[in-house]
Amino acid sequence: MGAAGGTIAPDRILHDMADLWVSLGKQGEGDAGVLRACSMTLVVAAEESDDPQAIGETLAALMPEHPSRAIVIRFRAEDRRSLAARVFAQCWMPFGHRQQICCEQIEITASDASLPDLTAVVLPLTVPDLPVILWCRSPRIFHLPAFPQLAVIAQKVVLDSAAFGDSAAVLGEMSGAAAAGRLLADLSWTRLTRWRELIAQIFENRGQLANLPLVTDIMIAHRAATPTTAYYLAAWLIDGIATTGARPRVQFRSDGGEPAWRLSRVEMRAPGSADAIASIALAERHAAEVRVGGLLNKALLPALTDYALMREELAIPGRDPVFERALAAASKLALS
Amino acid sequence: MPLENPFQDPLRFERRVPECAMVIFGANGDLTKRKLLPALYRLAYERRLDAGFAVLGISRTPMTDDQFREKMLASVKEFLEDSPFDADVWTAFAQGVFYMAGNFDDAALFPALDARLKAIDAARHTGGNVLFYLSAQPSQYIPIAQGIAAANVGKGSGWRRIVIEKPFGHDLASAQTLSAELHSAFEESEVYRIDHYLGKETVQNILALRFGNGIFEPLWNRRYVNHVQITAAESIGVEGRGAYYQEAGALRDMIQNHLSQVMATIAMEPSATFRPDSVRDERSKLLRSIRVMKPDEVLQNTVSGQYGPAHIGGEDFPGFRQETGVKPDAQTDTYAAVTFFVDNWRWAGVPFYLRSGKHLPKRVTEIAIQFNAAPLAIFNSDETTTAPNLLILRIQPEEGISLKFLSKRPGSGMKLRPVSMDFNYGSSFGERSPSAYETLLLDAIIGDATLYTRQDMVEASWAVVDAIQHVWDNTKFDFPNYAAGTWGPKAADDMLARRGHVWRQP
């Protein structure tokens, strides 16, 4: 279902969606029909060159857990104003069930010059009473002058600072936006969840918790030029250890290699001890080796696909105070 | 030393568990192999356990630690449902798995256990915390409790808790005796009576549905609810457990514990907080409000059944009395249906029908809340336009919630038809639900007893069930009275018909 060449009318899209549900209902077998599911509006801002199949697959994988009305806006670097749209549905049949579950997807193609017009198009397409999350997949789009007008319709904007290049600059930019009241999420922070969870688990043990004030040195090894993940982890560790009154030093170490954001080792040390109080090192096959108190444990780290990262972020549509604190501290650390 | 772990992130991390060792009595038994070790491995796989977490299995069979690990490895691989197996995770987990052989009647076992726990604590930093799990025969519960008490293993440098499986006695008196023995070694707050039904996601979801939403609670009373049906049906028979089952029966095996706990969750008052004792106080109050039947009321308000032989799908199935180990004249109830009334302001006069049986047409557990009809029928009434509003809470196999209501049929004229609004737990969230044992083991380690049964709750449900069982024990039933593969005896339909109700076919 396409729309007229240079403009699109939200009413027309909504009408097309209503038709879509009627036709899906007719396709349903017997009484089973289709079940419409929706827990949010997910707006995806992507470059036209961004692999449409990869985005489609990510959204399809997200739908069963975060059923959403997805609005994918594909931007073309063009000065002429142009907009086009089509609607379709993502459906799945849960194993062993007779009933299909479907979510709506709207795809809008827009030139950069049309960005100021987009808010008026997207706003009526959002599902009433449910959160709107904007996933911006491109630093270029984020930096378009009219982007804040689009961002204002979303409760939360999801970015990936790893795509921005200069860690200190992007952390400063994000920290400034957060201080101004914008709710942000960063997939580079999401990539740290399993590392942070392993660290938190170490200090659930009261014996280990007693060692925390002794930590004087933190070493974080990463692949290339200090990525935002390393700053985030350092800031979060310092913040946690500071609650005991200690102020550990942080050393970043580059091991080289790709991807740049990947961490390879974290150590927490006390003076006068050959062994680290705790260390986590990346091992083979998405695993991490955790050494603590003379015990070696192995934990699996799930693959960090776009799907896995967004799945976690979409589960937090509101404020994330731990991230907000880490972002502010990481920004200061990166600039120091 | 800091009091709190500063690295917790409740928005993103699962609940973490403190360091501890878990002692399993009956480590060579079916429950350990099928449920406990797979659940513990799964928790390790999900990084939910402390790095030093240790399991110490105890049973009579002589085995080394390595032999026990091999055996448990085979069990985990066989019984790990919908989860991948990872050799590295197992290797790390198995370093904390230990074994000691011993007879639970032997007083020497318990000082040896104490010494072994101290050695494990030194090696694995378990902080002196110990969770004892009785996965042994019920007849062994008291000797184990006595052994723990005599050797003072129930006290230590960390916390000590004990988890016991049902049956919690076979009547009120034996339940009180068992409790007294457990209390010789543990405080009541340290005793965790497990009811795996309460660990199921959908049973927990009843609390979320009732107390997390504002729209249901105003309807949740005698003014709007016509009656409630709670069904737990099994499609299989006793499957070789005939000898055990003929001493228990459906009333004791299901209604005294699982179904009365589910009923309490459905009917309890809102608790002031979600703290364990707050929730359990309300559940307990509800159980104590169930009217205890007088002897002359029992046969009018209950139905005892036993399946007979049947030919289903080209296959012959034996009746209960033809099962191995069952007496040819056994009076055991393989089916039980009861009508309970709750004597409080909210539920006065509303029947709660509970039924459970073996060899019924399908395996299903669900709660159906039937609401009163609209006060005035303004549409042309036929069978469909008078279909009642039903709220169905499905516990297994497809966990979910459905609301049935009437809607206008498209087209001219005002013809109504019932439609269903479905919420399916699995497909709506798409995430793997933890097994009931994963949930409950984690709760016990964390010290959250919300989903565990307390002794006053056990005694309250025994008081209700004993009154029925006593009459049944003194009645000679004309068994078998239902064929395998049917929905139970006709008398159960008659029991509802007397109040103008019919069983829902799940």
Quick: pLDDT tens for A179-193.
999 999 999 999 999
Measure in Å the smallest separation between the Cα of B213 and chain A Cα atoms.
16
Q: What CA–CA distance (Å, rounded) separates A53 from A51?
A: 5
Segment among A141-145, A191-195, A265-269, B406-410 with least mean pLDDT: B406-410
Nearest to B264 by CA among B397, B372, B367: B367
Measure in Å the smallest separation between the Cα of A94 and chain B Cα atoms.
6
A224 versus B66: the higher-pLDDT residue is: B66
| pLDDT of B430 higher than 60 | no
B-facing residues of A in 237-266 (CB < 8 A) are: 239-241, 243-244
Measure in Å the smallest separation between the Cα of A175 and chain B Cα atoms.
20
Q: What CA–CA distance (Å, rounded) separates A124 from A101?
A: 24
For A68-100, b/e burial (b = at least 16 CB within 10 A) is bbbbbbbbeeeeeeebbbebebbbbebeebebb
Which one of A193, A285, A293 has the shortest CB-CB distance to B12?
Answer: A193
Question: Per the CB < 8 Å rule, is A243 touching B2?
Answer: yes
| B469, B171 contact by CB (below 8 A) | yes
Question: Per the CB < 8 Å rule, is B5 touching A200?
Answer: yes
Q: How far apart are the first and last CA of chain A?
A: 53
B contacts of A297 (beta carbons < 8 Å): 51, 92
Q: Is B258 designated active site?
A: yes
Which one of A209, A236, A312 has the shortest CB-CB distance to B2?
Answer: A209
Quick one: closest CA in B to A32, which residue?
B420
Reported as type and span, the H/E element at residue A234 is helix A228-242
- B357 token code pair: 């049986």
Q: What CA–CA distance (Å, rounded) separates B271 from B285?
A: 11
Query: CB of A35 within 8 Å of any CB in chain B?
Result: yes
**If you ran DSSP here, which 8-state letter would residue B409 be given?**
P
B-facing residues of A in 56-95 (CB < 8 A) are: 64-65, 67, 92, 94
- B369 token code pair: 């809340």
Q: What average pLDDT does range A217-238 have in this prediction?
A: 92
Q: Please give the full DSSP string across A235-273, using - where no structure is assigned.
A: HHHHHHHHTTT---EEEEEE---SSTT-EEEEEEE-TT-
Question: Per the CB < 8 Å rule, is B13 touching A200?
Answer: yes
Q: What CA–CA distance (Å, rounded) separates A325 from A242?
A: 13
Q: What CA–CA distance (Å, rounded) separates B315 from B208?
A: 43
Residues of B with CB under 8 A from a CB of A: 1-2, 5-9, 11-14, 16-19, 45, 47, 50-52, 86, 88-89, 91-92, 95, 124-125, 127, 398, 422, 424, 426-431
Judged by DSSP in three states, A205 sits in: coil
B-facing residues of A in 280-309 (CB < 8 A) are: 285, 287, 290, 292-293, 295-300
Write the secondary structure of B198-234 as one string of H (helix), E (strand) and C (coil): HHCHHHHHHHHHHHHCCCCHHHCCCCCEEEEEEEEEC
| pLDDT of B415 higher than 90 | no
A10 versus A227: the higher-pLDDT residue is: A227
pLDDT in tens, A238-262: 999 999 999 999 999 988 777 777 8
Among the listed residues B258, B311, B359, B470, the single catalytic one is B258
Q: What average pLDDT does range B248-255 have in this prediction?
A: 92
A contacts of B81 (beta carbons < 8 Å): none
* Long-range contacts formed by B40-45: CB under 8 A, 24+ apart: B40/B93, B40/B441, B41/B76, B41/B80, B41/B89, B41/B90, B41/B93, B42/B80, B42/B83, B42/B434, B42/B435, B42/B438, B43/B17, B43/B438, B43/B441, B43/B442, B44/B89, B44/B92, B44/B93, B45/A300, B45/B83, B45/B84, B45/B86, B45/B89
Nearest to A309 by CA among A142, A73, A135: A135
Lateral strand order in the sheet of B160-164: B97-101, B54-59, B21-25, B130-134, B160-164, B191-193
pLDDT value at residue A16: 80
Which one of A205, A212, A287 has the shortest CB-CB distance to B127?
Answer: A205
Quick one: closest CA in B to A65, which residue?
B429
pLDDT value at residue A2: 40
| pLDDT of B177 higher than 50 | yes
Name the residue with tokens 């097309």.
A16
Measure in Å the smallest separation between the Cα of A64 and chain B Cα atoms.
5
Query: CB of A206 within 8 Å of any CB in chain B?
Result: yes
| A228, A186 contact by CB (below 8 A) | yes
Q: What CA–CA distance (Å, rounded) separates A138 from A19?
A: 33
Question: Per the CB < 8 Å rule, is B428 touching A299?
Answer: no
Question: Per the CB < 8 Å rule, is B19 touching A204?
Answer: yes
- B214 token code pair: 């504002």
| B133, B25 contact by CB (below 8 A) | yes
Q: What CA–CA distance (Å, rounded) separates B262 from B340?
A: 13
Average pLDDT value over all residues in chain A: 86
Interface test with A, best of B4, B5, B89 (most A CBs within 10 A): B5
B contacts of A94 (beta carbons < 8 Å): 424, 426-427
Question: Per the CB < 8 Å rule, is B6 touching A320?
Answer: no
B contacts of A200 (beta carbons < 8 Å): 5, 7-9, 13, 16
Measure in Å the smallest separation between the Cα of B423 and chain A Cα atoms.
9
Q: What average pLDDT does range B304-311 have in this prediction?
A: 91
The whole-angstrom distance between residue A246's C-alpha and the CA centroid of its chain comes to 32
A contacts of B1 (beta carbons < 8 Å): 206, 209-210, 213
pLDDT in tens, B41-90: 999 988 888 888 999 999 999 999 999 999 999 999 998 877 788 898 89
pLDDT value at residue A78: 81
Q: What CA–CA distance (Å, rounded) separates A292 from A287?
A: 16
